[in-house]
């Protein structure tokens, strides 16, 4: 049964890959043959061309992508911490929650494309700006999800801890935080790719390095660089995916009790 | 027999103004120590609310409760209650032995002592082989036995049980009834047992408090004296049927609410 499921999953991946390639190359072919655009290879290149370029320039892409990833990661870590702290503070009292919520919601109304140049202008440092923006987009989903985790603890569990005459800190450490972990990870999985995007947006505004810079410069040099542009786009997506997968793996290790991670069979009633 | 819990003119209302609901009205009750006392009644009679008032998980709107001559709060802060809920309420991230030893983390026991006491309790409910398992690997009945073991670990003088077996199948339920009786005979703890099942109340209890609903009132306070040992055979004894008939008659016409049929 297990082996069968594993094979089914492999098959799904294979089908997904084939469909993806068919659609991509189909679109590229259609643009070339049916729609009269100039330089169709810049509008939608063949995937195989993009991949050839990616592999030819793997070193450069990894170097620039690594810079983006490292900065996003720092910002992501800070943002997650801030988000969790906010959630903890808000879970302490409904009044505090009502005071803080409008601030954190309105903070997300400002488009990051508008905010990035402001932050860059003030901090005047590419790394600091990337980290700040990554933290800025991270804290919101983390705070909202962690808070809903903290506020959805079954009342009987709270009563159990009340009957132990538990102090607030012990209650948080032994019950509230572990209960909220799956929700915290949900927020972090949403935030991880966002933090990469935020970091790239800052780079578009004029950082000295990073995958975003490569992307912008490829646009300046016209059609000769168009494959580079697509390669950076593809690589950016890969970094975002990597960020998501890293958090997913950590989640699996940190919260093995979640129903979807339970490996051992046995009564479930 | 000394009196453990004294409930005096207790009223409980939820909500305010026109929407206020009276859950309990003028409850007067003495619960003696060392007995199993059932709070029996249909849904909405406030039996679980009464249990939570005793445990200081809720505060009465009016009236007074004393537990061993102290307020419920003082009793709770001294950890005098072991509570068992309808759901096992285990912590999914802890294995069985760590769930059972959880209460001892509040009482300053060392890691070694905690483990040792928890293993003893697990032996008492016959689950020592499952110490390393996680809650989701156990059946519902086993999970509830873990919850019983957990409630016993810090040796509280009172066990409060809120319909603990109502989610279990009949066979598991019977086994756990016998287990509760055995544990109570060994430890002589005061047990307050909330249930909506008449046979369960009669079988387990030294005393059955019959509550009526809307608002919750004490309708009858019945001492149960079954001839002989409380085992599965006693359920066939005429005295057992006399008691169940007597309790059922307390509810009059309403006795055939599906709530009261087991």
Q: Which of B215, B206, B88, B70 is nearest to B145 (CA)?
A: B88
**pLDDT, chain A, mean:** 90
Q: How far apart are CA B198 and CA B206, in angstroms?
A: 13
CB of B49 within 8 A of CB of B24?
yes
Cβ B8 vs Cβ B62: under 8 Å: no
Q: So what's the pLDDT on residue B254?
A: 52
Residue A244 pLDDT class (50, 70, 90 cuts): very high
pLDDT value of residue B17: 82
Q: Is A268 on the interface with B (CB under 8 A)?
A: yes
Nearest-angstrom CA–CA distance, B138 and B219: 39
Inter-chain CB proximity B137 and A170 less than 8 Å? no
Nearest C-alpha in A relative to B81? A163
Q: What is the pLDDT of residues A89-122, one digit of tens each?
A: 999 999 999 999 999 999 889 888 889 889 988 9
pLDDT of chain B, 262 residues: tens digit per residue: 577 899 999 999 998 888 888 899 999 999 999 999 999 998 888 999 999 999 999 999 999 999 999 999 999 999 999 999 999 999 999 999 999 999 999 988 999 999 999 999 999 888 999 999 999 999 999 999 999 999 999 889 999 999 999 888 888 899 899 989 998 998 899 999 999 999 999 999 999 999 988 888 898 899 998 887 888 888 888 999 999 999 988 887 554 454 544 4
Interchain CB distance below 8 Å, A178 and B83: no
How far separated are the first and last CA of chain A, in Å rounded?
Answer: 21
Is A263 an interface residue toward B (CB < 8 Å)? no
Across the interface, which of A164, A166, A266 has its CB nearest the CB of B137?
A: A266
Question: Which residues from A are below 8 Å from B55, CB to CB?
Answer: 159, 163
Return the pLDDT at A7.
Answer: 75
What is the four-CA torsion angle of A146, A147, A152, A154, rounded to 10 degrees? 80
CA A121 to chain centre: 25
Contacts of B102 in chain A (CB under 8 A): 164, 174
Instruction: Report CB contact under 8 Å: B57, A159.
Output: yes
pLDDT at position A263: 67
- Predicted pLDDT at A2: 52
Domains of chain A: 1-44 (no CATH), 45-261 (1.10.3720.10)
pLDDT exceeds cutoff 50 at A269? no
Per-residue confidence (pLDDT) for residue A268, from 0 to 100: 41
Q: Tell me the per-residue pLDDT of A199-239, one tens digit each, with 9 for 90 and over.
A: 999 998 878 899 999 988 888 776 677 888 889 999 999 99
The DSSP line for B89-136 is: ---TTS-HHHHHTGGGGGTT--HHHHHHHHHHHHHHTT-GGGTTS-GG
Yes or no, beta carbons of B142 and A162 under 8 Å apart:
no
Domains of chain B (ranges; CATH) run 3-80+156-256 (3.40.50.300), 90-152 (no CATH)
pLDDT, position A4: 57
Q: What is the pLDDT of residues A66-80, one digit of tens each?
A: 999 999 999 999 999
Q: What is the pLDDT of residue B261?
A: 46
pLDDT at A18: 94
pLDDT digits (tens, 9 = 90+) for A173-208: 999 999 999 999 999 999 999 999 999 999 988 788
Interface test with chain B among A165, A168, A260, by most B beta carbons within 10 Å: A165
Label residue B15 left, alpha or beta by phi (over 0 means left) and psi (-120 to 50 means alpha): left
Q: Which residues lie below 8 Å from residue B171, measured CB to CB, with a gap of 6+?
A: none
Residue B103: predicted pLDDT: 95
Cβ–Cβ of A156/B87 closer than 8 Å?
yes
């Amino acid at each position: 049964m297990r082996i069968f499921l594993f094979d089914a999953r492999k098959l799904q991946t294979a089908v997904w890959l084939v469909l993806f390639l068919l659609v991509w190359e189909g679109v590229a072919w259609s643009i070339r043959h049916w729609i009269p655009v100039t330089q169709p290879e810049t509008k939608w290149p063949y995937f195989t061309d993009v991949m050839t370029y990616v592999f030819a320039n793997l070193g450069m892409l990894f170097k620039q992508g690594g810079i983006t990833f490292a900065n996003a990661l720092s910002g992501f870590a800070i943002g997650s911490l801030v988000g969790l702290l906010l959630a903890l503070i808000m879970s302490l009292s409904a009044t505090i929650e009502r005071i803080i919520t409008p601030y954190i919601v309105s903070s997300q109304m400002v488009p990051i494309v508008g905010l990035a140049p402001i932050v860059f202008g003030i901090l005047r440092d590419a790394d600091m700006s990337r980290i700040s923006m990554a933290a800025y987009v991270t804290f919101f989903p983390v705070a909202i999800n962690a808070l809903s985790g903290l506020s959805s603890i079954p009342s009987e569990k709270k009563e159990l801890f009340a009957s132990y005459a538990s102090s607030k800190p012990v209650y948080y450490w032994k019950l509230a935080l572990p209960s909220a972990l799956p929700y915290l990870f949900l927020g972090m999985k949403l935030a991880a790719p966002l933090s990469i995007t935020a970091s790239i947006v800052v780079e578009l505004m004029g950082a000295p390095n990073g995958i975003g810079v490569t992307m912008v410069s490829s646009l300046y040099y016209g059609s000769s660089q168009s494959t580079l542009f697509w390669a950076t786009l593809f690589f950016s997506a890969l970094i975002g995916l990597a960020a998501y997968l890293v958090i997913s793996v950590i989640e699996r290790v940190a919260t093995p009790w979640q129903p979807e991670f339970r490996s051992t069979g046995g009564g479930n009633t | 027999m000394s009196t453990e819990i004294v409930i005096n003119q207790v009223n409980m209302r939820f909500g305010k103004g026109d929407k206020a609901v009276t859950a309990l009205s003028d409850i007067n009750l003495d619960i003696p120590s060392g007995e199993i006392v059932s709070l029996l009644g249909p849904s909405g009679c406030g039996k679980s609310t009464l249990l939570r008032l005793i445990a200081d998980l809720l505060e009465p709107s009016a009236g007074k409760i004393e537990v061993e001559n102290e307020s419920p709060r003082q009793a709770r802060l001294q950890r005098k209650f072991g509570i068992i809920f309808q759901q096992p309420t285990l912590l999914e991230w802890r294995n069985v032995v760590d769930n059972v030893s959880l209460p001892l983390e509040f009482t300053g026991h060392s890691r070694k002592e905690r483990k040792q006491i928890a293993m003893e309790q697990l032996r008492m409910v016959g689950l020592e082989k499952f110490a390393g398992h996680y809650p989701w690997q156990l059946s519902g009945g086993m999970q509830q036995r873990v919850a019983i073991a957990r409630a016993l670990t810090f040796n509280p003088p009172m066990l409060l049980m809120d319909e603990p077996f109502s989610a279990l199948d009949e066979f598991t339920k019977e086994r756990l009834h016998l287990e509760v009786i055995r544990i109570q005979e060994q430890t002589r703890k005061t047990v307050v047992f909330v249930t909506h099942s008449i046979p369960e109340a009669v079988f387990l209890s030294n005393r059955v408090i019959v509550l009526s609903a809307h608002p919750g009132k004490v309708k009858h306070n019945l001492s149960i004296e079954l001839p002989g040992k409380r085992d599965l055979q006693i359920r066939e004894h005429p005295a057992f049927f006399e008691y169940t008939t007597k309790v059922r008659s307390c509810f009059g016409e309403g006795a055939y609410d599906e709530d009261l049929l087991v």
